[in-house]
Amino acid sequence: MSFQIAMAQLGGHPIYVKPEDIGGIGKREPIKDMARVLERYASGIMARTFAHETVIELAKFAEIPVINALTDWSHPCQAMADIMTIREHFGKLNGIKIAYIGDGNNVARSLSFGCAKLGMKISIASPKGYELDKESIDKANQITSGSTNQMNSPQDAVKNADVIYTDTWVSMGQETEKQKRIADFQGFAVDAKLMSLAPKAKIMHCLPAYRGFEITDEAMESENSIVFDEAENRLHFQRALLKKLLS
Ligand code: NVA
């Protein structure tokens, strides 16, 4: 929605291609063929895929800009909207500390890279087995040493945090692991008790939020919650991105 509306606001014309319209990306025809057809019609491609390799393949073969609007590896547009929201609320980025509670997933990875590049720190608290991979942590810490810390205790992560961030325990494509994940993530919910350890921290979530799992209704609706400013900024950041890439 945010990409389509941003495109319309700029006077462009978004065309949403559903998986069933094309027989599933990479299934009916190779991605490299699709990329070379689309580049002859469109000014850009915004792709939300499961496999990260799909977006890489599109970008490799299409001469037009290809935007990653979420893959199983990263979610850079979300991270940029998040960072924009943090700057709006704190008036700065430098020195801001994010406590990310939950899955070491695409959202955690992109936030970690954003923090490393923009003077912020992120402490990621995940259950054992769900941590952000070491290669990504090392990559962030090579950009800025000490910018990403991985731990297993949400209580430790929120110490001195300016922002408490969480995301679903079950990302798109992981539906078959749902019951196991819910069991494994017990103790990792953002709730009033966790918030009381960092009472001034703003609450963020990339949405959709599953109340009663990774976040309580109380946390979502608390006066510290900036979740809907964050959602709004997807539109503003992406409109700026489209303008820059397509102008
Ligand atoms: N980690 C989630 C983000 C949703 C915006 C997913 O990949 O489904």
Tens of pLDDT, residue by residue over 80-102, are 999 999 999 999 999 999 999 99
Residues near ligand 1 with C-beta < 6 Å? 70, 75, 105-107, 167-168, 171-172, 206
pLDDT, mean of residues 51-59? 97
pLDDT, mean of residues 69-88? 98
Nearest residue by C-alpha to atom 2 in ligand 1? 171
Tens of pLDDT, residue by residue over 211-237, are 999 999 999 999 999 999 999 999 999
Q: Please state whether the peptide bond connecting residue 127 to the residue before it is cis, i.e. omega within 30 degrees of 0.
A: no
Across the chain, mean pLDDT equals 97
Tens of pLDDT, residue by residue over 133-149, are 999 999 999 999 999 99
Is the entire prediction scored with pTM above 0.95? yes
- Choose among 213, 211, 210, 204: nearest CA to 234: 204
Spell out the domains of the chain, with CATH numbers in brackets: 2-73 (3.40.50.1370), 76-228 (3.40.50.1370)
Tens of pLDDT, residue by residue over 6-18, are 999 999 999 999 9
